[in-house]
């Protein structure tokens, strides 16, 4: 009877510990030059040891709840997610004209784009939960274009995954042998902003550069298919697609495991 009580107590303690372990989040203020940036870190405090870190590069709306939710999803999957801030001061909007202005301002100077990405990368690598040798970037829409720009520039990343991301090279096609990360591009078959011919051109560019790339197209999916609020934007061609969201996340998790082995 005493042994039974002891085992029950141990079991109860284990259950309580498991229940207490959950995804933790923290806002982090960092800088690029004189610009204050606001990041969002997410990790599972039940995970043991260092694990891969993943930068989340937001859509053109800014680092909003969608971007932060992707960081949380990564944490639940066993990674450390860090939603960065490409605009500065945590600027966000729900208006397309403002979003376009923010994106144009943030990307007009290529050096600033690289510097803000690298500033976030440095913050992520410094986190005690992160293995600095295993870093990936997830980019959404505008953020997909940023992540691919950094890959084309030779950024030292293990993996890049884009979801309904811009594919055209902002600074010219990739140089042969320069791209280091393995790349997974996931796009919508009915996305008017990333039409089939753009996908084909991208695939040819990657083939010419010698990059390791996989492209998945989700039939019928429109632009911003991972964002549950996409339909609220009032922009033709934007729509959430639950099936594409679920499948693209599953593919991304499989891809990370292939690259990092965890």
Judge whether residue 40 has pLDDT over 60: yes
Rounded CA gap, 182 and 52, in Å?
Answer: 15
The mean pLDDT of 10-36, rounded to a whole number, is 74
Q: 88-112, pLDDT tens digit by residue? A: 999 999 999 999 999 999 999 999 9
Q: 107-133, pLDDT tens digit by residue? A: 999 999 999 999 999 999 999 999 999
In what order do the strands lie in the sheet containing 80-83? Answer: 23-32, 35-44, 80-83, 51-57, 130-140, 159-163, 182-188, 213-218
Q: Which two tokens stand for residue 26?
A: 């923290």
Rounded CA gap, 159 and 136, in Å?
Answer: 5
pLDDT band at 17 (very low <50, low <70, confident <90, very high): very low
Judge whether residue 62 has pLDDT over 60: yes
> Across the chain, what does the average pLDDT equal?
93
pTM: 0.91
Judge whether residue 257 has pLDDT over 70: yes
Structural domain spans, the chain: 22-260
The mean pLDDT of 3-29, rounded to a whole number, is 61
CATH class of 22-260: alpha beta
Judge whether residue 227 has pLDDT over 60: yes
Q: 136-192, pLDDT tens digit by residue? A: 999 999 999 999 999 999 999 999 999 999 999 988 999 999 999 999 999 999 999
Judge whether residue 16 has pLDDT over 70: no
φ, ψ dihedrals at 33, nearest 5°: 65, -125
Q: How would you class 166 by CB atoms within 10 Å of its CB: exposed for 0-12, middle for 13-18, buried for 19 or more?
A: buried
Q: Which two tokens stand for residue 262?
A: 């965890």
Give the whole-number percent of the chain exceeding pLDDT 70.
92
The mean pLDDT of 180-207, rounded to a whole number, is 98
């Amino acid at each position: 009877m005493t042994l039974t009580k002891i085992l029950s107590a141990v079991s109860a303690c284990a259950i309580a510990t498991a229940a207490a372990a959950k995804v933790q989040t923290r806002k982090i203020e960092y800088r690029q030059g004189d610009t204050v940036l606001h990041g969002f870190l997410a990790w599972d405090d039940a995970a043991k040891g260092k694990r891969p870190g993943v930068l989340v590069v937001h859509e053109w709306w800014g680092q909003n709840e969608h971007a932060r939710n992707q960081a949380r999803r990564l944490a639940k999957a066993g990674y450390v997610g860090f939603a960065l801030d490409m605009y500065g001061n945590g600027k966000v909007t729900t208006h397309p004209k403002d979003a376009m202005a923010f994106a144009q301002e943030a990307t007009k100077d290529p050096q600033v784009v690289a510097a803000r990405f690298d500033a976030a990368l440095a913050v992520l690598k410094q986190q005690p939960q992160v293995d600095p040798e295993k870093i990936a970037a997830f980019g959404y829409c505008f953020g997909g274009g940023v992540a691919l720009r950094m890959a084309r520039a030779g950024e030292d990343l293990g993996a890049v995954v884009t979801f309904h991301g811009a594919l055209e090279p902002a600074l010219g096609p990739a140089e042969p042998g320069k791209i280091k990360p393995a790349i997974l591009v996931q796009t919508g078959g009915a996305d008017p902003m990333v039409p089939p011919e753009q996908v084909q051109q991208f695939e040819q560019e990657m083939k010419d550069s010698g990059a390791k790339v996989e492209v998945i197209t989700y039939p019928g999916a429109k632009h911003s298919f991972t964002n549950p609020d996409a339909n609220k934007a009032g922009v033709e061609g934007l729509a959430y697609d639950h099936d594409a969201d679920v499948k693209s996340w599953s593919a991304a998790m499989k891809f990370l495991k292939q690259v990092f082995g965890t």
